[in-house]
Amino acid sequence: MSRSRILRNPIAFLSGVVIVCCFVILTLTMLRLPDPATRATRYSNKLLVGKYGEMMIEMLPEDLAFTVFLPSERAFERDLGLNPNDSFVGEKMNDTYAVVSRVLGFSAVPRSLASKAVPFDKELSYDSISGFVLYISKEEDGMLVVNGVRSERVDLRKKGSVTVVHVMDGVLMDAEFRQSVQYDSEED
């Protein structure tokens, strides 16, 4: 068939357009181009991870691979009663450091796990550094869900670091620690 015949025949022309579109879609799907909303960002800016987030990340060695499911500042305040505007002196600083280090134990995995490594149709499970089991899945919009807590931002990295940070809208903790935190907040 000559080119002019194909262009005159609407069925052949439409079939050609559909085939080209299918190949483009297939190619883009196979490449898994990153979503701009989930693009990696540097977390060196304190506003991205907050005061307690910086404190948690500083507790980790920089040369080892970790993934941290970091509570947002709002989650620290809502779930643990830690206000980022409080001044820390003496015993209050020790208590805060103890709580933050305990949360780190529940929410850090000793391996690098970017959101693109989590499949949509599967739930992964990893032990945190404290032995708490984390069940990780991915939603259609690319956000991660860990033990029922949804992420706000994913794949944050500090320049030159192998640590991956996912900011969560909640605090990952076991039932015993959750109960002790609730008990402490009821006393206040």
**pLDDT tens readout for residues 133-142:** 999 999 999 9
Region 144-164: mean pLDDT is: 89
Same domain, 42 and 131: yes
The beta strands (E) that lie in 14-142 are given as 67-71, 108-109, 124-127, 133-138
Domain count of the fold of the chain: 2
Of the listed ranges 25-34, 57-66, 110-119, 123-132, the one predicted with least confidence: 25-34
pLDDT of 27 reads 81
Any long-range contacts for 172-178 (C-beta under 8 Å, 24+ apart)? Answer: 172/69, 172/71, 172/103, 172/106, 172/107, 172/128, 172/132, 172/134, 172/146, 172/147, 173/102, 173/103, 173/106, 173/132, 174/106, 174/132, 177/102, 177/106
- For residue 47, the domain's CATH number is 2.30.180.10
pLDDT in tens, 10-64: 787 888 889 998 888 888 777 765 544 444 444 444 447 888 888 898 899 888 8
42 shares a domain with 29: no
Residue-number span of the structural domain to which 24 is assigned: 1-33
Residues 48 and 134 in one domain: yes
Percentage of the chain lying above the pLDDT 70 cut: 78
Query: 100 and 25 in one domain?
Result: no
